[in-house]
């Protein structure tokens, strides 16, 4: 009788340890990923991408500080961005940066409160989409649209 009681107690404890009451899992596979020419579901994308959704009131004064440490493979050194390290000894290692679809070299004027999301394309698919300019990766910045 003691064995049966002990087994029931162990089963109840084991079942309660795995309880997920109050926890709602988030399915990232349903999130859209911006590939530059279209948006696809994350589960349907085969490219290495990272997405950062920027919340208002982050407390950061510039976009470089905000990006530091948020995207795997993105190195931020002052105002210099590198995706997965240096790829060329003599050539430029700067990624292609697009703000709302417009190519730009400097994003220092953008504050994190103006940005809705940042998509970072880190692999060869960015080269296929943007040609040789995307060889060092692509950073797609989508700003918030002001409603007046």
Establish if 16 belongs to a structural domain: no
The residue range of the domain holding 80 is 24-143
- DSSP notation for 47-64: S-EEEEEPPS----SSHH
Residue 3 domain-assigned?
Answer: no
Q: Structural domain tally of the chain?
A: 1
- Output the pTM of the full model: 0.69
pLDDT tens for the 148 residues of the chain, in order: 777 776 676 766 655 554 444 333 344 545 666 666 566 665 555 567 777 888 888 788 889 988 888 888 889 998 889 888 877 788 788 899 999 989 998 898 888 999 998 988 888 777 778 888 888 889 999 998 855 4
Can you list the alpha helix ranges (DSSP code H) found in 18-90? 63-67
Residue 1 resides in a domain: no
Supply the pLDDT for residue 51. Answer: 77
């Amino acid at each position: 009788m003691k064995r049966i009681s002990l087994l029931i107690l162990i089963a109840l404890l084991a079942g309660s340890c795995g309880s997920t009451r109050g926890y709602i899992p988030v399915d990232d596979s349903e999130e859209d990923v911006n590939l530059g020419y279209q948006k696809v579901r994350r589960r349907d994308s085969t490219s290495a991408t990272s997405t950062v959704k920027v919340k208002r009131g982050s407390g950061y004064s510039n976009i470089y500080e905000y990006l530091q440490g948020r995207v795997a493979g993105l190195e931020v050194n002052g105002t210099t961005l590198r995706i997965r390290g240096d790829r060329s000894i003599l050539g430029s290692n700067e990624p292609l940066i697009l703000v709302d679809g417009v190519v730009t070299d400097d994003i220092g004027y953008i504050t994190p409160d103006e940005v809705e999301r940042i998509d970072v394309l880190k692999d060869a698919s960015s080269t296929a989409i943007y040609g040789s300019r995307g060889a060092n990766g692509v950073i797609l910045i989508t700003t918030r649209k002001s409603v007046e």
